[in-house]
């Protein structure tokens, strides 16, 4: 029998089902029903890790989610290494392999423990004070060193191979916690039909009822009451019981996030089943029955392995049949620690002494101790613990003097802290309770109520009664009949008085936040250095900033800061708890939303054609857009150059379907567009189009496109691809809320039309034979006109427009006909030398012409004049969106950055978009940047590098030079007009 | 995540169906051309950023598409009222 500390009977474990596991490579045996922590303790292992900052040896401290010390790494194969798991929460399975963390070379001998041995070395704030200079050293020396020394587990490097599920649910009442209060709340709430979800973070339901072997509920053992209640709940169709499910966050309007763990407790999880499931539950009312967490006592070396929360040791004995040690000193300031002492004594642990800081306790406690033969000393406090890797003795200070008590276990029970993390997530108000020595909820919210220990009802009868009351009231709140009253008769309930929090800061290594290595004396330092607000003290000392969010330490921290600064803990307050209550895996948060399911993918009507042609693609928002169509042996850049030359020399075909398209119709459609765009459309005849600029009300360009007049009261308007949604939103905003008297309707038709841009000198020759219904000749259809007819019998909306500088058409056919039209045009164009082209060639062609791309050459702070488009702004049409702003001094002033062309003298491989423009070739640090480069392209037509940029007073400086700052030095550029090719625009009128 | 009642769809719907559109109750000067620079920049940029009961615009983007004026208490994140803008 290896499990020397296992009792012979009792608990929720199966002694007949041994499970093998390893810890740091050493083999051990535990039982089915164990946690990793209980199995280690059963084998006499306390030492489980090294502390975060001081590398102090640490042991298992608790039996629950508050565990600050026993963090381990569980390795289940590639991509399945999980760091920072609490050994108290890891359910044992056969073959489990756990490792301790933050130690080198070994757990028993840790080289960095010198940090802990020299206590003055790492005071609070030492990061801020110590590693200041020289500047370069932070990145190269200090940070890597600190990261190696501090920190806990190692993140896995491989992709997560597991599957995670996601579920939305609605219910009337969500009960968080299945202890006595939660259980009775769920019973009451579900009795009259309300839909109830009951979630429990542990694998074993029941909370404190699991370990209650003394008190009787309604005449039966508490454990039997628990089993019956669960049977009742599981039999009800309107109840969903979720085990291993942590409610980790409450959000606005009672949206509660739950993480359900489905596979981690199994030796061989079903590979097709999800590992975890994220629940997003919208509840009419939440009943929070989250219980309470026992508070540690603050004394020197209170972090030594073998020092443990008193009730945790009781839980190990009762739930897991494990004696946490052989000889215990129990240090109490609360009645519950007396119960721990007595029950451990009954389980075979020798109780060396039971001390209590109080001078008097209820006679019932003393009688029970006397009956059991447990020695008691009142008015006595802890002064220290000896033993490095395991406690050897406890130093106590009794009224008659100090002495050492030999023991291998020190159990500290300093009272109970209501678990109010979830309550605080939605800014529930906490009020100080002297009776608890902790903060309690004001419990006045209608949608979220606390019941049981988290509301201060620490006794079994109180928790059961309060749970029933809140469950019943929740059902009524959700519109269901009130269930009949139910009184629970509890016999032999244990008293629950005491629990004043820490009031003095002992010298030495007396830890308050054990996980983050914050000592009592650190608070004094923080206060001395001027930090007063508990929020500031928290950040300076890092108290409560650990993964456990100060579950054990926070109340002691507030009380201590109060005592040290002459304030009551109530005045000091508590730092804000944030979601998540306990750590949640990224997998659960991402659930299905990864890989191809991360975001919807939008494909143009010719997507399959582009794929088949071997096109390269670019993600533009959700769109997949073809970048180029490389032929065998071509690079993407070579393909783009060939495609651009094809457009200039013959013709090219481009799928422009991603352009936003809005149909604007109504008697006041013209008046509306007059107000939404800078242009004056009053002279725009039916059948003509115009390039148009849309401004924010602030006067800055937000979008551009073409406004085509189809009829007196109907326009086809295009927007940029990326701006389609926001341009429509902007137009709807003014239509619905500002220009409400205008009779106009907006219909987004982006996905109704496939748009194919046919550009190049041969475009008309290719297209004309295929079109029915109108004449394409230059006289009949000049540049910037629109016609409706048919393309080989399919409805056609044709615009003569060009973003390439060549004769061009934008062919709109119904989206379903887009691929067929693509095939048809490529076939018809083959004799003419037509080539499909992608975004890369498009960008070269437009850059050669100096056409801007909104969002590339603009950054949301350019006026039309900045872009050289002041002439487009209608001056006689009255107000439009953005008009007034253009007259504001800072928008109308001289010296603004203006769009210019930039031409390097030779090849300029180092020139990149975003580079700053400065006057000097060797600028001193702090030199004023006069502008920046927005576009750089290799022009195959001109056989040179061309660029666009925004430069202060740029248009007045054409003919001068400027320097772009590259990593290899300044590069001289000629300032030229933006149009590098065919500046007169003769080609597009061809 | 907020639940926002949509008076047009006549349902409370989750926040992610909506797009936020800034503080409500801004008055665009009747004749912007006649507004002073100060009045105009106040209209553009000055916001009350109220703590407490706050009127704000939301558009039910993935629903009816309508702009709404939603009254929300920014202290406790409760939506008190929602009407078409």
Instruction: Encode pLDDT of A872-921 as tens digits.
Output: 999 999 999 999 999 999 999 999 999 999 999 988 889 999 999 999 88
Q: Any CB–CB contact under 8 A between A893 and chain B?
A: no
Number of C-beta neighbours around residue A859 at 10 A: 14
Residue A371, pLDDT > 80, answer yes
Reported residue count of chain B is 85
Percent of chain A residues topping a pLDDT of 70:
96
Q: pLDDT per residue over A559-588, tens digit each?
A: 999 999 999 999 999 988 999 999 999 999
- pLDDT of amino acid A1: 46
In the block, tokens 């409610």 appear at A247
Verify whether the Cβ–Cβ distance A737 to B66 is below 8 Å. Answer: no
Which residues does chain B have within 8 Å of residue A732's beta carbon, measured at their own beta carbons? 59, 65, 67
Q: What is the mean pLDDT of residues A467-490?
A: 97
Residues A787-820 have pLDDT tens digits of 999 999 999 999 999 999 999 999 999 999 999 9
**Chain B residue with Cα closest to A284:** B3
Give the pLDDT confidence score for residue A103 in this predicted structure: 74
Interface test with A, best of B4, B19, B28, B47 (most A CBs within 10 A): B28
Q: What pTM was computed for the model?
A: 0.90
- Do residues A271 and A77 touch, judged by C-beta distance below 8 A? no
Contacts of B67 in chain A (CB under 8 A): 732-733, 736-737
- Structural contact between residues A385 and A303, judged by C-beta atoms closer than 8 angstroms: no
Of A732, A736, A885, the CB nearest to B44: A885
- Of the pLDDT bands very low, low, confident and very high (cuts 50, 70, 90), residue A92 is very high
A733/B contact by beta carbon, under 8 A: yes
Contact status, residue A348 vs residue A316, Cβ threshold 8 Å = no
CATH of domain A296-414: 3.50.50.60
Under 8 Å between Cβ of A273 and A27: no
What pLDDT is stored for residue A122 in this prediction? 65
- For chains A and B, CB pairs below 8 A equal 53
Task: Tell me what pLDDT residue A150 has.
Answer: 59
Note the pLDDT of residue A990. 74
* CA–CA separation, A438 and A452 (whole Å): 15
Write down the domain spans for chain A. Answer: 1-156, 164-292+418-491, 296-414, 602-656+752-778+799-861, 659-749+863-891, 894-990
Q: What is the pLDDT of residue A108?
A: 78
- Return the exposure string of A705-722: e unless at least 16 CB atoms fall within 10 Å of the residue's CB, then b: bbbbbbeebebbbbbbbb
Within 8 A by CB and 6+ apart from A941, the residues are: A644, A645, A648, A848, A981
State whether B67 and A737 contact (CB < 8 Å). yes
The pLDDT of residue A926: 87
A-chain residues near B73 (CB < 8 A): none
Handedness of CA A296, A297, A302, A308 (dihedral sign): negative
Asked if domains A164-292+418-491 and A296-414 share a fold, the reply is yes
User: Both ends of chain B: CA-CA distance in Å?
Assistant: 22
> What's domain A602-656+752-778+799-861's architecture?
2-Layer Sandwich (3.30)
Best mutation target among B67, B68, B70, B79 (most A Cβ atoms within 10 Å) is B67
Please tell me the CATH code under which domain A164-292+418-491 is placed: 3.50.50.60
- What class does CATH assign to A659-749+863-891? alpha beta
CA atoms within 13 A on the CB side of A807: 19
Residue of B nearest to A251 (CA): B1
> Which CATH number among 3.30.2270.10, 3.90.950.10, 3.30.450.20, 3.40.228.10 corresponds to the domain B3-25+40-84?
3.30.2270.10
Are the beta carbons of A109 and A190 closer than 8 angstroms? no
Number of helices (H), then strands (E), in chain B: 1, 6
Please give the residue of chain B at the shortest CA–CA distance from A887.
Answer: B37
- Taking CA–CA distances from B32, the nearest residue in chain A reads A884
Which chain B residue's Cα is nearest to A445? B76
pLDDT at A118 over 80: no
pLDDT tens by residue, A274-303: 999 999 999 999 999 999 999 999 999 999
- For the stretch A661-707, pLDDT in tens is 999 999 999 999 999 999 999 999 999 999 999 999 999 999 999 99
- A77 to chain B, any CB pair closer than 8 A? The answer is no
Domain positions in chain B:
3-25+40-84
- Euclidean distance between CA atoms A250 and A243, whole angstroms: 18
Q: Which CATH architecture has domain A1-156?
A: Roll (3.10)
ipTM above 0.90, yes or no: yes
- Is A697 at the interface with chain B, CB within 8 A? yes
pLDDT tens string A596-636: 899 999 999 999 999 999 999 999 999 999 999 999 999 99
| CA–CA distance, A551 with A418 (Å, rounded to integer) | 10
**Interchain contact, A733 vs B67, CB within 8 Å:** yes
Task: For chain A, state the CA radius of gyration.
Answer: 37
Q: Which of A284, A729, A876, A884 has the most B C-beta neighbours within 10 Å, making it the best mutation to test the interface with B?
A: A884
CATH 2.40.30.110 assigned to domain A894-990? The reply is: yes
CB A796 within 8 A of CB A781: no
Nearest one of A25, A562, A41 to A315, comparing CA atoms: A41
Q: What is the pLDDT of residue A502?
A: 86
Closest chain A residue by Cα to residue B25: A737
CB of A883 less than 8 A from some CB of B: yes
Interface probe for B, chosen from A170, A253, A730 (most Cβ of B below 10 Å), is A253
Q: Comparing C-alpha atoms, which of A689, A693, A943, A703 is closest to residue A802?
A: A689
Q: Do A282 and B3 touch (CB under 8 A)?
A: yes
pLDDT of residue A925: 87
**Can you give the pLDDT at residue A54?**
85
- Per-residue pLDDT reduced to its tens digit, A644-662: 999 999 999 999 999 999 9
Determine whether the interchain pair A736/B85 forms a contact, defined as Cβ–Cβ distance below 8 Å.
yes
């Amino acid at each position: 029998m290896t499990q020397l500390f296992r009792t012979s009977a009792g608990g929720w474990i199966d002694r007949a089902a041994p499970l093998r596991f390893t810890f740091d490579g050493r083999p051990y045996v535990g039982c089915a029903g164990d946690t990793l922590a209980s199995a280690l303790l059963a084998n006499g292992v306390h030492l489980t890790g090294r502390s975060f900052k001081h590398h102090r040896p640490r042991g298992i401290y608790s039996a629950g989610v508050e565990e600050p010390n026993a963090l381990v790494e569980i390795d289940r194969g590639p991509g399945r290494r999980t760091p920072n798991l609490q050994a108290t929460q890891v359910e044992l399975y056969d073959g489990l392999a756990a490792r301790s963390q933050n130690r080198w070379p070994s757990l028993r001998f840790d080289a960095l423990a010198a940090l802990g041995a020299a206590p003055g070395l790492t005071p609070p704030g030492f990061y801020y004070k110590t590693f200041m200079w020289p500047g370069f050293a932070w990145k190269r020396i200090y940070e890597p060193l600190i990261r190696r020394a501090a920190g806990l587990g190692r993140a896995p490097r491989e992709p997560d191979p597991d599957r995670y599920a996601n579920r939305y649910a609605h219910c009337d009442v969500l009960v968080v916690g299945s202890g006595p209060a939660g259980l009775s709340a769920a019973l009451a709430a579900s009795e009259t039909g309300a839909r109830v979800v009951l979630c429990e973070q542990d694998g074993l339901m029941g909370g404190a009822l699991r370990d209650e072997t003394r008190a009787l509920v309604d005449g039966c053992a508490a454990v039997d009451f628990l089993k019956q209640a669960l049977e009742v709940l599981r039999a009800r169709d309107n109840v969903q019981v979720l085990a291993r499910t942590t409610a980790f966050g409450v959000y606005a309007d009672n949206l509660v996030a739950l993480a359900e763990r489905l596979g981690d407790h199994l030796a061989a999880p079903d590979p097709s089943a999800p590992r975890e499931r994220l629940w997003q539950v919208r509840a009419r009312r939440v009943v929070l029955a989250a219980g309470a967490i026992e508070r540690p006592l603050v004394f020197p070396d209170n972090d030594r392995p073998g020092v443990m929360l008193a009730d945790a040791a009781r839980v190990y004995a009762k739930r897991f049949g494990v004696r946490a040690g052989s000889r215990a000193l129990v240090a109490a300031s609360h009645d519950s620690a007396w119960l721990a002492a007595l029950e451990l004594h009954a389980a075979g642990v020798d109780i060396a002494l039971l001390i209590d800081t109080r001078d008097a306790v209820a006679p019932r406690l003393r009688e029970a101790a006397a009956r059991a033969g447990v020695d008691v000393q009142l008015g006595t406090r802890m002064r220290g613990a000896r033993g490095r890797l395991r406690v050897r003795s406890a130093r106590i200070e009794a009224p008659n003097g100090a002495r050492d008590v030999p023991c291998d276990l020190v159990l500290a029970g300093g009272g109970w802290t209501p678990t109010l993390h979830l309550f605080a997530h939605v800014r529930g108000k906490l009020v100080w309770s002297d009776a608890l020595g902790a903060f309690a909820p004001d419990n006045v919210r209608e949608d979220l109520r606390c019941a049981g220990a988290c509301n201060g009802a620490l006794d079994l009868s109180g928790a059961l009664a309060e749970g029933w009351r809140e469950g019943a009231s929740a059902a009524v709140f959700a519109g269901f009949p009130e269930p009949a009253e139910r009184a629970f008769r509890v016999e032999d309930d244990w008293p629950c008085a005491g629990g004043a929090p820490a009031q003095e800061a002992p010298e030495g290594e007396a830890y308050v936040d054990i996980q983050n290595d914050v000592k009592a004396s650190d608070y004094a330092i923080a206060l001395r250095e001027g930090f007063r607000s508990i929020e500031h003290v928290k950040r300076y000392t890092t108290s409560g900033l650990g993964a456990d969010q100060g579950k054990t330490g926070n109340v002691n921290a507030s009380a201590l800061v109060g005592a040290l600064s002459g304030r009551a803990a109530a005045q000091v307050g508590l730092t804000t708890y944030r979601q998540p209550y306990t750590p949640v895996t990224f997998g659960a948060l991402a659930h299905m939303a990864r890989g191809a399911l991360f975001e919807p993918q939008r494909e143009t009507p010719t997507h399959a054609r582009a794929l088949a042609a071997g096109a390269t693609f670019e993600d533009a928002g959700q769109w997949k857009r073809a970048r180029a169509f490389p032929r065998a042996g071509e690079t993407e850049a070579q393909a783009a150059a060939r495609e651009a030359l094809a457009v200039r020399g013959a013709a090219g075909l481009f799928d422009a379907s991603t352009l936003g398209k809005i149909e604007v119709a109504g008697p006041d459609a013209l008046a509306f567009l007059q107000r939404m765009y800078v242009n004056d459309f009053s002279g725009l005849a039916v059948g003509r189009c115009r390039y148009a600029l849309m401004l924010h009300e602030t006067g800055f360009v937000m979008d551009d496109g073409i406004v085509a007049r189809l009829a007196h009261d109907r326009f086809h308007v295009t927007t940029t691809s990326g701006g389609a949604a926001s341009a429509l939103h902007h137009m709807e905003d003014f239509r619905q809320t500002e220009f409400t008297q205008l009779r106009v309707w907006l219909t987004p038709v982006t996905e109704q039309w496939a748009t194919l841009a046919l550009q190049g000198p041969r475009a008309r020759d290719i297209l004309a034979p295929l079109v029915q219904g109108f004449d394409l000749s230059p006289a009949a259809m000049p540049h910037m006109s629109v016609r409706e007819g048919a393309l080989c019998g399919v409805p056609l909306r044709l615009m003569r427009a060009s973003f390439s500088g060549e004769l061009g058409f934008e062919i709109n056919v119904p989206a379903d006909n887009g691929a067929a039209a693509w095939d048809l045009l490529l076939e018809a164009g083959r004799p003419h030398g037509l080539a499909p082209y992608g975004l890369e060639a498009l960008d070269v062609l437009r850059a050669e012409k100096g056409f801007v791309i909104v969002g590339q050459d603009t950054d949301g702070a350019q006026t039309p004049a900045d872009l050289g488009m002041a002439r487009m702004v209608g001056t006689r049409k009255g107000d439009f969106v953005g008009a007034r702003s253009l007259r504001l001094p800072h928008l109308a002033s001289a010296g603004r950055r203006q769009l210019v062309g930039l031409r390097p003298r030779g090849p300029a491989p180092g020139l990149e978009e975003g580079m700053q423009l400065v006057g000097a070739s060797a600028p001193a640090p702090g030199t004023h940047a006069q502008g920046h480069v927005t576009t750089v392209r290799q022009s195959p037509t001109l056989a040179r590098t061309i660029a666009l940029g925004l430069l202060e007073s740029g248009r007045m400086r054409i003919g001068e030079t400027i320097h772009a700052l590259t990593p290899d030095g300044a590069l001289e550029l000629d300032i030229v007009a933006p149009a590098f090719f065919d500046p007169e625009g003769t080609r597009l009128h061809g | 995540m907020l639940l926002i009642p949509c008076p047009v769809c006549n349902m409370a719907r989750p926040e992610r169906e909506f797009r936020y559109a800034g503080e409500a109750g801004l008055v665009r000067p009747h004749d912007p051309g006649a507004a002073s620079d100060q009045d105009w920049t106040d209209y553009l940029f000055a916001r009350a950023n109220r703590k407490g009961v706050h009127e704000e615009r939301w558009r039910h983007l993935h629903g009816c598409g309508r702009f709404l004026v939603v009254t929300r208490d920014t202290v406790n994140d409760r939506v008190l009222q929602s009407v078409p803008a």
